[in-house]
Structure 1
Amino acid sequence: MSSVEIYSEAVDAMQGHLAAAAICIAVLLSTWMLFRKIHRFNKKLEKLPPGPRPWPIIGHLHMIGKLPHRNLALLSQRYGPLMSLRLGSVPTVIVSSAEMAQQFLKTHDHVFSSRPAMRCAKNMFYDSIDVTFAPYGHYWRLARRICVSELLSPKRLESFRFQREEEVSVITIRSLLEECATVSNPVVDVTKTVSAVVVDILCRMTFGRKYSDNEGYDSRGFRAMIPQVSSLLGAFDIGDFIPYLEWMDLQGFGRQEKEIHKRADGFYEKLIEDHLVQKGSQETRDFVDVLLSVYENSTPEVNLGRDSLKSLLMDMLHAGTDTTSTALEWAMSELLKRPLVMKKAQEELEKVVGLNRKVRESDLPHLPYLQAVVKETLRLYPPAPLMVPHESMDSCTVSDYEIPARTRIIINAWAIGRDPTSWEDAEEFKPERFMGRSVDVRGQDFELLPFGSGRRGCPGIQLAMVVVEFVLGQLLHCFDWRLPDGIQGPDLDMSEKFGISSRRAVALLAVPTPRLPAQAPEPQCS
């Protein structure tokens, strides 16, 4: 073998050794970088609240189930009232106690006042420009101010008192009385009845008129559309949590949302045009008139576009009807299970109102037990069992845990209302717990948060409470109620179906018997 060949083989061998060494170094560097990354990730996890180990890709989405508020409450019993989850690729913190809720909604409210991007809000609420889903900022503050000062102010709500009293006392009660007069022991669909009266009240206040069952967004009417919107708003959309799957629309939510938006947009456009044509001809200005006045008198500081008007009107209709009708059907459910509690509420009504007339809104402040029944209902059945998610705008330390920026915060109002550390006999329906107690629903008492708290608290609390107390009081005062033959209180189906509000899974049926004279006076316009 020549010296040239020997040299060539030596060079090849050296190159092979160098290549092997380079590969080894690359593997070692990659391994070292991977371990450093894992170490940093574990260090980051150490600062987060405790929680179960996530699965690859889906994280903890498989743990949500059909009733997320109940499943998350069970998980929180194991991991604590501040629990860390990863929903797909989205870091999420679950809050399940009054103490922790106060940290997020009061102490650090300025950090957690934004909303995460949600496809349902983008598709149905004009790219999230309503009050409920808009991210925190100048536009949201402007829209909320308009709602609070122009639409939901005490003066504005008082101007609609007659419409509310007429819908409940005259139209709904008269319809039930006629049914009792024509049919012996009629079985009434209470769910449908309370939903109908709430929709009619909100339509008259918002649009200036009512819509029949085959009117509204389409031939199915508002009453069919509202539960569908509620279901979509409460759904855990895979596309929100695993973004690269959004285009596939695996659950079909995106298609449904766009169909609803198309029909709703056509309805609201026609509604606005009709109000422009009839401008100045109505005695009482409805919400559309008020918003058009703001729209037409826009300034650089207060400037709303047409889509903003439509998104705010959608808020008024859907948020107002779904939450109040849900509270009413659960209140009636609990009272039908507990005739003695119903009797006690009726005795208070008889003492304050008498049996010669119907209830008026002015009677409500003098009915503390009725108010306690409503509060107890909202404690056990908050209108939104999982509040609309918050999102952190910056990193923040809460109870020694580090909450990173852009973390989704889910507050489990259902779990907080049933927390045994806050409530004695937490699972029992006991209105008496509120008698002589100052706990209120307006967001200052964090053990009771049916309407949220802080900057993102519901601006329509006053309207919701008036409608729920008035409708419930009128139904109890005008009728005795019992379950249909063959059903006892303990046998009543109390199962629920989840949405942004948690409604009964099956309609509530009951038999009314009139309590008042047939000619009890109706409310008069004042």
Structure 2
Amino acid sequence: MEDWLYYSLSIAICLAVSLLLSSLRPATPPLPPGPPLLWLIGPLLFLCRPTNFGIESIIRAARRRYGQIFTLYLLPSRPTIIITDHAVAHRVLVQRGAAFADRPPANLASRIFSSDQHNITSGAYGPLWSLFRRNITGKVFHPSCLRRNAGARRRAVARLVAGVDQKMRRDGAVAVKELLDQAVLHVAVSMCFGEGLATDDAVVAAVEALQREFLESVLGFQVFGVCPAVTKLVFRRRWKRVLSLRRRQEELFVPLIRARTGAVVADHESYADSLLGLQIPEDGGRMLKEGEVVSLCTEFLVAGTDSTAAVAEWIMANLVDQPEIQARLRAEIQQQVADGACVQEDHLPRMPYLRAVVLEGLRRHPPGHFLLPHTATTTDTKGSGDATLEGFRVPRHASVNVTVAGMALDEAVWPDARRFRPERFLPGGGGADVDLTGAKEIKMMPFGAGRRICPGMGLALLHLEWFVASLVAEFEWLPVASEPVVFAERQELSVVMRRPLRASVVRCSKNVAC
């Protein structure tokens, strides 16, 4: 009896002490919850289905079960923390933007195309990234610099309008995406390599062909994020295509970059000029290598064209599908533009409904369904430690991402969310029934947020507004007989229309050439 009492009291005392010590010891916050066995099948999404849509179905199911923030193991060694709530996204990307400003390690193919993450979209947070960001913001996208390319934009709009007219006369219908790609690329080549190349149709055509091949192939390169030593052997042809594309990028861009060496001017006429003048804070202040300049120019051309053309096509598809919106937009344009005149850049700020149409296009059809992935910075994690988010632990190596497309369809924030309704962005338009705490600005900036807001967003809005306004001012857009507009999606680098838009057009302007 005494032995039993002794052992019972001893065990009770030990348990009490243990509980007391554990209460005094700082507890380690847990990871956000998530499906525990996904790490077994997550890599198969990259190997068998190189698209975001397979991942999105998992995310929808996980949100229903785990709430607004959860963990997925899409790669066995690296958890991915998914945010599906506007307020949480705002806190992470804006209020704590510096704490989650870093990027995760890139996969093997991405490292090749980015010169080992020596670019803006994948570069690690630090002096080199800051240098690239300041350079493109101050010497390319600043309003005073954008004025240098006004002539290229006017020519692009004129070619776009003329191309629509020619295709309608020749084919009886217009597939507008190809013309939009060419128009945006015309401006981007001028900004990247100088005004002279914008009129060189052979160079623009070569850049367009190479970029199209890259965009159609890049999702398939995700396989090299899983066991690259093995996947390089299993997907040998795909790996050879990676190396071939990179080699041809250098063969095409290096001569264009070298041609700028003797043309560098004090105010940096082109993006390539600004890069040739940069001194890298690493390696004793060296200049950029040619391969690094190629990577930065490739990034500029891809980011500046593909997503803009994709969103413009989605907008035009909605205008074809909803002629009453098209008619209201045309009426606004006609109030600002004299009969027989062309839409000009200085007309655009006086067209609030046009801006609403463009913003609704970005909300309803964001070119990326997710932001670029983030990770916690070393300053926030105190070296090798972990960061915290909404009471959860965020390991230093974890990716943090935001479901842009999913939040844009949140009925609690956007009433009648699946409907294309530009009025929600006008005063009194009933855009949201809850306090967004900055969520609108996040959704309207699909390339990043907080510290990493895309510096080219202003230029993208300018292109979208000018191209859409010009197309609507010059033509009435109608559905092709027995070809209804289909809003199904296909994942390339951007989310594009699975069946590209084809429309009939009727000229409604007296212009023959803008």
* TM-score bracket, shorter-length normalisation: 0.7 to 0.9
- Which amino acid in 2 is paired with 1:466? L
Secondary structure of the 2:97 match is: coil
Matched, 1:436 2:439: no
Q: Spell out the pairing of 1:38-187 with structure 2 (5 A cutoff).
A: 47-55=30-38, 57-59=40-42, 61-62=44-45, 66=51, 67-68=53-54, 70-75=56-61, 76-89=63-76, 90-118=78-106, 119-168=108-157, 170-180=158-168, 182-183=169-170, 186-187=172-173
Secondary structure of the 1:486 match is: coil
1:459 maps to: 455
Q: For 2:360 and 2:339, how far apart are their aligned partners in 1? A: 26
1:516 maps to: 509
Which of these residues, 317, 334, 359, is aligned with residue 318 of structure 2? 334
RMSD, aligned CA: 3.2
Secondary structure of the 1:134 match is: coil
Q: For 2:116 and 2:35, how far apart are their aligned partners in 1? A: 34
- Which amino acid in 2 is paired with 1:134? G
Per-residue displacement from partner, 1:162-201 (whole Å, max 9, x unpaired)? Answer: 2201220x32223333455x55x82111111111111111
Per-residue displacement from partner, 1:417-468 (whole Å, max 9, x unpaired)? Answer: 111221111111110100117999x987345442321122211111111011
- Which amino acid in 2 is paired with 1:50? P
Larger radius of gyration: 1
Contact 1:482/1:511, CA 8 A, preserved across alignment: yes
1:398 maps to: 389
Q: 1:253 to 1:58 in 2, by over 3 A?
A: farther
Per-residue displacement from partner, 1:364-385 (whole Å, max 9, x unpaired)? Answer: 1111111111101100111221
Matched, 1:206 2:159: no
- Structure 2 portions without partners, runs of 5+: 1-26
- How far did residue 57 of structure 1 move? 4.0
- How far did residue 244 of structure 1 move? 5.7
Q: Spell out the pairing of 1:289-328 with structure 2 (5 A cutoff).
A: 289-294=273-278, 303-328=287-312
2:9 maps to: none
Contact 1:69/1:386, CA 8 A, preserved across alignment: no
Q: 1:455 to 1:248 in 2, by over 3 A?
A: farther
Q: Spell out the pairing of 1:236-385 with structure 2 (5 A cutoff).
A: 237-242=222-227, 245-248=230-233, 250=235, 253-277=238-262, 285-294=269-278, 303-385=287-369
Per-residue displacement from partner, 1:483-508 (whole Å, max 9, x unpaired)? Answer: 11223xxx322222113311112221
Q: Spell out the pairing of 1:487-498 with structure 2 (5 A cutoff).
A: 487=483, 491-498=484-491
- Which amino acid in 2 is paired with 1:114? D
- How far did residue 478 of structure 1 move? 0.7
- Which amino acid in 2 is paired with 1:138? P
Q: 1:251 to 1:415 in 2, by over 3 A?
A: farther
Contact 1:327/1:383, CA 8 A, preserved across alignment: yes
Normalised to the residue count of structure 1, the TM-score between the two structures is 0.80
Q: For 2:221 and 2:28, how far apart are their aligned partners in 1? A: 24
Q: 1:226 to 1:211 in 2, by over 3 A?
A: farther
Q: 1:131 to 1:167 in 2, by over 3 A?
A: same
Q: For 1:146 and 1:249, how far apart are their aligned partners in 2? A: 40
Matched, 1:478 2:474: yes
Secondary structure of the 2:494 match is: coil
Matched, 1:507 2:489: no
- How far did residue 112 of structure 1 move? 1.6
Q: Which moved more, 1:356-365 or 1:282-291?
A: 282-291
1:386 maps to: 370
Contact 1:83/1:95, CA 8 A, preserved across alignment: yes
Secondary structure of the 1:480 match is: strand
Contact 1:384/1:413, CA 8 A, preserved across alignment: yes
Matched, 1:416 2:407: yes
2:17 maps to: none
Q: 1:295 to 1:275 in 2, by over 3 A?
A: farther
Contact 2:89/2:439, CA 8 A, preserved across alignment: no
- Structure 1 portions without partners, runs of 5+: 1-43
Contact 2:370/2:401, CA 8 A, preserved across alignment: yes
- How far did residue 58 of structure 1 move? 3.8
Contact 1:413/1:449, CA 8 A, preserved across alignment: no
- Which amino acid in 2 is paired with 1:95? I
- Which amino acid in 1 is paired with 2:441? D
Secondary structure of the 1:397 match is: strand
Q: For 1:251 and 1:84, how far apart are their aligned partners in 2? A: 32
Q: For 2:322 and 2:164, how far apart are their aligned partners in 1? A: 22
Per-residue displacement from partner, 1:37-76 (whole Å, max 9, x unpaired)? Answer: xxxxxxx998122222324644475499541464244222
Contact 2:275/2:288, CA 8 A, preserved across alignment: no
Q: For 1:175 and 1:245, how far apart are their aligned partners in 2? A: 47
Q: 1:103 to 1:255 in 2, by over 3 A?
A: farther
Q: For 2:211 and 2:364, how far apart are their aligned partners in 1? A: 22
